[in-house]
Structure 1
Amino acid sequence: MTAQDITRNTAFIRLRQEGRTDEVTRRLVEAIELGLFAEGQQLPSESELAQQLGVATVTLREALITLRQRGLIKTRRGRNGGSFVCAPVEMPEELLLQRLREMSGPDLRDLGDEQTAVSGTAARLAAKRSSHEQHERIAQHIETLSQASSRLARHRADARFHIEVAAAAQSLRLTNAEMRLQSEVGELLWMESAGGGNIMEIEQEHRGILQALTSGDSVLAGALAEAHVTRGIKRLLSLRLELMAEANEG
């Protein structure tokens, strides 16, 4: 990953105004979990990263302390020192299932409504505003998904696809919203029990959205993106009902 890529990815999580430490921490956690900062990558210096994020250095420093405590980054001292992103840890599926059990049906539907609105709007705008270069980046994430061999890798490739579409809409608010939603619900969609093993179907849906973007068909792009999100949320709602039924029988 080049310095230009790092700067570009950092722009995804830049705060619009002076952020509180917990907000800065959340944005950085999302960026690491979604793979915007790669394993082993050295973060920019504190002063440089703070400037890129638009926050005070002391605020960033406090956020980095939390990231170190959570094992997301490690700091090396000395001439070649700095803060480096740690290897990601894939959460056991049972913990993800437990997280799904703890979500209420109305909350999950509400989350789906929000993601449908965000992803659909982003796709419609991206069809009008995106460039050839952005289409190529979106296509790269589709290829990455097709070759992914783990749930975490699939989740990251899927999330990066949606984030890149939002970025192509040239809307920082939509991009930030998509990042938050992908961090909140994205990994649940890739559980085997939620149909996460059906990569080809998801890949085809992604390709359909990209084709609509490249042809400039905003109506089709939005409709395909909304249908894509709706199908995923329906799978989670169905799985949650199965889990609740099993719990009641037990």
Structure 2
Amino acid sequence: MAIRMYGGAAAAVYAPLDPVSRAEQVERRLTDAIVLGLVPTDHQLPGEAELSRLLGVSTVTVREALRVMRESGLIETRRGRKGGSFVLESQESAVGRVVERLLAMSTTSLRDLGDRYAALSGAAARLAAQRATEVEVERLRRRHRQVVDATDEPGRRRAESHLQIEIAAVAQSPLLFREEVTMQAEIGPLLWLGAGHEDVHDITVDRAGELADSIAAGDGDKARTLTEERIALWTAHLVELRLQELDR
């Protein structure tokens, strides 16, 4: 079947997994895509054989991952000629799975994750400022407006994700773009738990506007600094969220 991509960030959903990946990694990849809105409600996932080919795992592994997702209420299986696995409307179960992963990580691991992502995205922002064309700057401004206009946590998570993907694309570095896509596929939803919170989002919206302006002005150092500051803020909130969840 033809695979529909809902924006450039959706490329992260079907990027190949590590050859030793297991069912849990497949389940995480697809769950993360649902959390970010990269796979929309009522969207049909590729069939087991196609998912197996795209992700580089066995059909048995894919089947087990889909079973867990069905039991978690993330997808449903429909029978018949137009049957298959379809994404359900509620994101509560998907977010709950990501929170479980958050609780399993140490504070040190979370901070290391944030540092890695800040280094990658900061480098992409610096290059984007050096290489962006007028057309690409306008695309970034549209992504920024989506961040500003987002009214709920799923929308904020999705908008921030798409903005970062767009910056990586504007950097015109295939390597950095692949790394951005890979990191969003593997750890993005953890970071976006911090970015999507209302208090944090209100602060980072202004930073996103400054970031777009700095890229338009060709100020690579400022673009990198703003990106690193935004990610540091998300990471700090993520650490705080983990401690709050543990206290409960």
TM over 0.5: yes
- Change in CA separation of 1:175 and 1:101 when aligned onto 2, cut-off 3 Å: closer
Deviations 1:41-83 (CA, angstroms, capped at 9, x unpaired): 1223333343333444443333222222222111111122121
1:20 aligns with 2:32: no
The Cα of 1:17 is off from its aligned counterpart by: 4.7
Q: Is residue 144–residue 208 contact of structure 2 (8 Å, CA) maintained in 1?
A: yes
Which stretch shifts more, 20-29 or 208-217? 208-217
28-37 or 224-233: bigger deviation: 224-233
Aligned to 1:152: 154
Q: CA deviation at 1:38?
A: 0.9
Structure 2 alignment gaps of length 5 or more: none
Go from structure 1 to structure 2 and tell me whether the alpha carbon gap of 1:75 and 1:16 turns closer, same or farther (over 3 Å shift): closer
Task: Name the structure 2 match of 1:172.
Answer: 178
Quick one: distance in 2 between partners of 1:56 and 1:239? 36
How has the CA–CA distance of structure 1 residues 9 and 227 changed in structure 2, closer, same or farther, with 3 Å as cutoff? closer
Q: TM-score, normalised by structure 1?
A: 0.72
State the one-letter code of the partner of 1:15: P
The aligned residue for residue 187 of structure 2 is: 181
- Count of residues in Structure 1 that have an aligned counterpart in Structure 2: 238
Report the secondary structure of 1:84's partner residue: strand
Structure-2 separation of matches of 1:231 and 1:67: 31
Q: Deviations over 1:188-228 (max 9, x none)?
A: 34435xx23x53x4222112223334455433322221122
Report the counterpart of residue 53 of structure 2 in structure 1. 51
- 2:78 and 2:102 map into 1 onto residues whose CA distance is 37
Deviation at 1:98, TM superposition (A): 10
| Backbone CA RMSD of aligned residues | 3.9
1:224 has 2:230 as partner: no
Within 5 Å, give how 1:42-191 maps onto structure 2: 42-90=44-92, 106-127=108-129, 138-169=140-171, 170=174, 171-191=177-197
Q: What amino acid sits opposite 2:151 in the alignment?
A: S
Whether contact under 8 Å (1:34, 1:160) holds in the other structure is no
Structure 1 residue runs without a partner (length 5+) = none
Structure 2 CA distance, aligned partners of 1:86 and 1:107?
31
Of the structure 1 ranges 66-75 and 39-48, higher mean CA displacement relative to structure 2 is found in 39-48
